[in-house]
Amino acid sequence: MDGKQSVGLWGVVGVCGGLLLAVSAGCMGALTTAAYLLRGTDVPAEFNGLKGKKVVVVCQPMVAMQVRNSTAARDLARQISTLLQQNVSKIQVVSSQKVENWMDQNSWDEYIDIGKALQADIVVGVDLEEFNLYQSQTLYQGKASLTVKVIDCAAGGKVVFERALPQIRYPPNHSIPAWEKPEAQFRREFIAHLAECVGRYFYGYDPYRDFAQDAAVMH
* pTM, two decimal places: 0.78
Pick the CATH number of 54-217 from 3.40.50.150, 1.10.260.30, 3.40.190.10, 3.40.50.10610: 3.40.50.10610
Note the pLDDT tens digit of each residue in 99-114.
Answer: 999 999 999 999 999 9
| Whether pLDDT at 183 is above 80 | yes
| Non-local CB neighbours of 199 within 8 Å, separated by 6+ positions | 80, 83, 84, 87
Note the pLDDT tens digit of each residue in 127-180.
Answer: 999 999 999 999 999 999 999 999 999 999 999 999 999 999 999 999 999 999
Omega before residue 171 within 30° of 0, cis: yes
Closest CA to 83 of 57, 48, 114, 103: 57
Count CA atoms within 13 Å of residue 47 on its CB side: 21
| Whether pLDDT at 44 is above 70 | yes
3-state secondary structure of 121: coil
Number of H helices, E strands in the chain: 7, 6
Count of C-beta atoms within a 10 Å radius of residue 13: 10
Q: Are 118 and 158 in contact (CB under 8 A)?
A: no
| Non-local CB neighbours of 19 within 8 Å, separated by 6+ positions | 30, 31, 34
Mean pLDDT over each residue of the chain, to the nearest integer? 84
Note the pLDDT tens digit of each residue in 61-101.
Answer: 998 887 788 899 999 999 999 999 999 999 999 999 999 99
**pLDDT band of 211, cuts 50, 70, 90:** low
